[in-house]
Structures are given as structure tokens and as C-alpha cells.
Amino acid sequence: MSEINVPVLVIGGGGCGLTTSILLSEHGIEHHLVERHADTSHLPKAHYLNQRTMEVLRQVDVADSVYAVGTPPQNMGKTRWVTSLGGDGELDGRTLFTLDSFGGGRLDSEYAVDSPCPSTNYPQIRLEPLLREHAEKRAPNSLHFGHELVSFEQDDDGVHAVILDRNAQQTYTVHAQYMVAADGGKTVGPELGVEMQGPTGILDMVSTHFTADLSEWWEDDVLITWLLNPEGAGSWNSGAMAAMGPTWGRHSEEFVLHFTFRPDDPARFDEDAIVPRIRDLLKLPDLDMTVHKVSHWILEGVLAEKYQVGRVFLAGDAAHRHPPTTGLGLNTAIQDAHNLAWKLAAVLKGVAGPALLDTYESERRLVGMRNVDWAMFTFLNHMVIDAGLGLVPGQPLEAQIQVFRDFFSDTPMGETRRARAMEVVNTQRTEFQAHDLEIGFAYHEGALVPDGTDAPPRDPMGRIYQPTTRPGHRLPHTWIEHNSRRLSTHDLTENNACFVVIVAEEGDRWAEPAALASEKFGIRIKVVKIGGGSDYQDPQGEWSTLREIQDAGAILVRPDNHVAWRSTEAVTDPSLTLVQALDTVLCR
């Protein structure tokens, strides 16, 4: 049996594993990725990519290739609820509600001011091949599809794994210092005895990926359409469908439709009944459609009790699984990889203590917990919409029909029902306008030095983001200029590779301490003075309103664009202060 020695073994070649590969390559860390399937995902699965994820991809020069093929902003700015797409009955083809979504419509300005990256939409069935291409360009001999983890063990020296080449039917051993389990929770977590905590087995979700010409009934600015009609008797029974491209807008060729069965309903596996049901829900009995795949998945909201066991780290679906509402699954997974990769690189290069890796769990697990809870809440809130409309579980069909007649009636009661229902629908902004949830998360302990200040208030509905340079928070974005070229403050850390000390007009005294700290720790530290006659200018004065430091203060930014430490004002000994901060951050 042959043997391979490598710093990092990555299990899983989905969105999380491939992003981990890209990020490790950017840090110059050799790795070995194995994926049991012969190719990337054959399911559309996740598709919405939020602003924070696009910031991660932008940092490593992947974002532009996603934007080039993903959904343009003008084709994903609204979510709508309709009774059906077609049909000629009194209640068919009628729009109940629309909601600005994902930074579209009136949300555009507030999303644009807070990030250099708009959100986009690109289904996983196409995103994963794109990520794989980027990963293989950076590490051409490191990705191994059709290879399966057979067994592993770990000791004080590392992780020792037996891998099966499924094509050659031969095994080999990989000796790695660390292992990242991005396997969806199928193998590594259960083998380690990690418990997934939370409810599971709630509903059986059926997702149907199909091709059809819906251009007559789709709308150009809509990404997701909810079907809500008497026959379906509720949001998840009627279904939700999303455009899947590759052409966007009303001429999208592909779609995915999700609806539910009870886990004990035998009809859930009768795929011959799926197409007739879709035609009935859409009220398009003659629709010519080609089904690519019908997939089943159990609705759950679970979180790993721990993200690290020795030298093994759980990431992505191996650490958290939840409903697709709010689009948090893949986004959280990519952000897990972003948090972990720079820490692995720092420890493997000897510039940080091994305890830095412990901060992966302390930082990311609370984010995972909040996102699991949020996704469960936004999934169940669709049932509140049903109630706001007046639908009651178990109603006879005629009663359900009357609910919709009353809703559309030109009467005072109809006006009241529409107003009440719209009030309830607006609570679903927790799913479709979750701006703060997506970019406003912060780390409260970990690779950072708290400064004793209080965190700014967070919007309980997840929408309004409050930028801050408080340690643990994402560095606020604003546009600055360097030698007449526009940059984001996020660009200062370059490709996830360096620390940055941002100073203000009187910050020149931080330059020598940063140089000494860089030499002491063996890391690259850039000092960037914004304003005050420096090469970096703040032409609109936006940074000066966001920085929250005085003219002689400083902000230390980690490679992942989270603030590690700050001094809001001048200090007596900048060299000692900065060294002590980095000692804490790097767990030296």
C-alpha cells in the first residue's frame, strides 16, 4: 500500500471542500482532497450566494467568474406569491404578494453601501464545477474525485487515513497533520462520535429539477415564486420554485420546485406522480417538461456538538444542517472554510501556536447555531403566512377556496384580509432581506483581543446592519483610493494572506512597531494610513465616519477581514502593545 505525506487532508469535494482547497492554495499549503463521487454535484441544491460569501470569493479572485455566469441583480430582486402560473379559473394565475429580496428594489442602496460585492445566484450543480476548475488550477495534483475515505485514526503526530481509489479499486494511506471533514456529515463526524443536536425527521422534502419553457408565465425580476392555492392548502404543500438558469429572467430554461410530504407518506417515493402533481400545482396541464432529477431530503435543524476533535475539523454540512430558507447552508460552509484556512496556514508555517486552531470552534459554532435557528424560524414562518391568509390545516377544499375568494374580493373585508396578510408576509423579510444576518455576524471570543466596548445593537429581524471596527466584527467596507485607483477596505488584506494595521492621520508611529512585529512573528503586516496626505485617500470621508478610532489610533485586521484588535487612541508603547496583541491573536 502506497503512502502520501501532506499537511492537510480534505474529505469532500463539494462547495465547502473545494473552497478549502482554493484558500489553502492561496496560503501555499499543500493538501490532498478526496471526494467519493466521480464528479461534482448532480443536484442544483444551494443557489443563493450572499454578500459575505462573494467577499470571500472576491478575495481569492473567484467572484468575477461567478458574476459572469450568475444571476444579474435585475433578475433576482423580487420574491412573489401566486395562486398558480397558468389556468383560467377565477383564482388561477393571480398574484397575492411581492417582496423585495436579496438587495433588489428599494434595498439596493443599503446593500451596496455596505459591501463591495452584490449577492448573486448560481446553482450548486454549476458552481461546484467552477470552483473545481479554480481549485485545480491552483493545485493541479491535489484533487482526487472517485476516491473514498475508508478509515482513519489520529495520534499526537497527525491523522492517518486509508483512501480507496474507486476506479482502480486500490487503497493507499495519507498521513496528514490535520484533516478537514467537509463530507456532509456522512462519515467523519459519526466515526468520531460527534452528536448532531436538534430536531430531525420533521418533513420529507421533495426537490424536482426540470427543464420547461415558462417564459409566458415567469417574470424577469423574480428569482423565487411561491405557489399558494386552495388545492395545495399551504406554502410548503403547494411548493416553492426557483429559476436555475443558465439564461436568467423569464427565459430561464431550468427550475427547481420544492414541496413536502410527511415522512410516513408512502406517496413521497412515487416519482411517476411527481410530474402530474407539478402540472396540477402550476395549472399547466399540457406543460412540456423534462425532469432531470427528483431528490428527497429530510428537513432538520441540527448542529454538531463540537467542530473539532483533536486534529480533525468539521465544516459545512458536517457541522450544521438546516432548511434552505434564507440560503444559509452553502454560504455558512464557505465562510467556515474562510475562517479555518488562514489558521491552518499560520500553524503549519509555525507563526502561530496550535491553540489558534481551537478558535475555529469558538468563533464559528455560535454562527452556525444562530444560522440553524434562523433557517428553522424562516421555514416555519411560511406557515404563519398561511395563517395570515386564513388557511387552517384540515379545512375542506370548499372552505379553502372561500378563503381565496374573500382575499381577492372587492369588499371592505377583502381589503382587510389583504392588509392583514401583507403584514404577515412582511415578517418574511427575515428570509429575503436578511442583510445584517448575512454580513453582520461577529466573533465574541477567539483569535481577537476584546477592547471592553459594547457591541452595536443588532436588528432582531436581521435586516439593518451596523458597521463597526470593534474586535471580532467584520471590517466595515467603504471605497478608498490608492494612487488614483478605487479599492475597498477589504482589498487591503489582499488574497487572504496578510495582516493589516490601519491607522489615521497621526498613525505614522505605528510603522516601526509593525515592522518589528512582522519580523518577530514571521508574518506579513501591512501598515495602511488612510487620509492625511498618504497614498490611501478617503475622498468622500466615508472611512473617517466608520473607523471609530482617533487620529493616533490603530486597527489590526486579520487575513479574513475580521478585526483582531484596535486601539481607539494613542498608546504609550506601540511596539509592546502590538506585540502583545499579536501574541494573543496567534496564541503564542
For residue 104, give the 3-state DSSP assignment.
coil
pLDDT higher than 80, residue 1: no
Average pLDDT, the chain: 94
Q: What is the phi-psi region of residue 141: left when phi exceeds 0, alpha when psi lies from -120 to 50, beta otherwise?
A: alpha
pLDDT tier at 252, thresholds 50, 70, 90: very high
pTM score, whole prediction: 0.96
Domains and CATH numbers, the chain: 2-70+122-197+302-363 (3.50.50.60), 444-585 (3.40.30.120)
The residue type at 421: A
Q: Which amino acid is at 185?
A: G
Amino acid 268: pLDDT: 61
Per-residue model confidence (pLDDT) at position 495: 87
Cα angle, residue 138 at apex, residues 134 and 142 outer, rounded to 5°: 100
Element (H, E) at 564: strand 563-567
What is the full DSSP assignment across 109-127?
HHHHHH-SS--EE--HHHH
- The answer to whether 521 and 588 are in contact (CB under 8 A) is yes
In terms of Cβ atoms closer than 10 Å to its own Cβ (0-12, 13-18, 19+), residue 188 is: buried
Please name the residue ranges forming H helices in 349-396.
358-389
> For residue 131, what pLDDT band results from cuts at 50, 70 and 90?
very high
Burial 133-160, CB ≥16 within 10 A → b, else e = ebbbebbeebbbbbbbbeebebeeebbb
Mean pLDDT along residues 255-267: 74
Instruction: Please list, in sequence order, all residues whose beta carbon lies within 8 angstroms of the beta carbon of residue 140, skipping any fewer than 6 positions away.
Output: none
Nearest to 175 by CA among 6, 345, 348, 347: 6
Residue 234 — pLDDT band, cuts 50, 70, 90? low
- Pick from 133-147, 197-211, 442-456, 500-514: least confident: 197-211
pLDDT at 427: 95
- SS3 of residue 504 by DSSP: coil
Set of cell numbers at residue 431 = 428570509
What is the percent of the chain with per-residue pLDDT over 90, rounded to a whole number?
A: 84
For residues 500 and 498, give the distance between their C-alpha atoms in angstroms, rounded to a whole number.
6
Cell of 497: 494572506
Phi, psi of 145 (to 5 degrees): -85, 155
User: What radius of gyration, in Å, describes the C-alpha atoms of the chain?
Assistant: 25
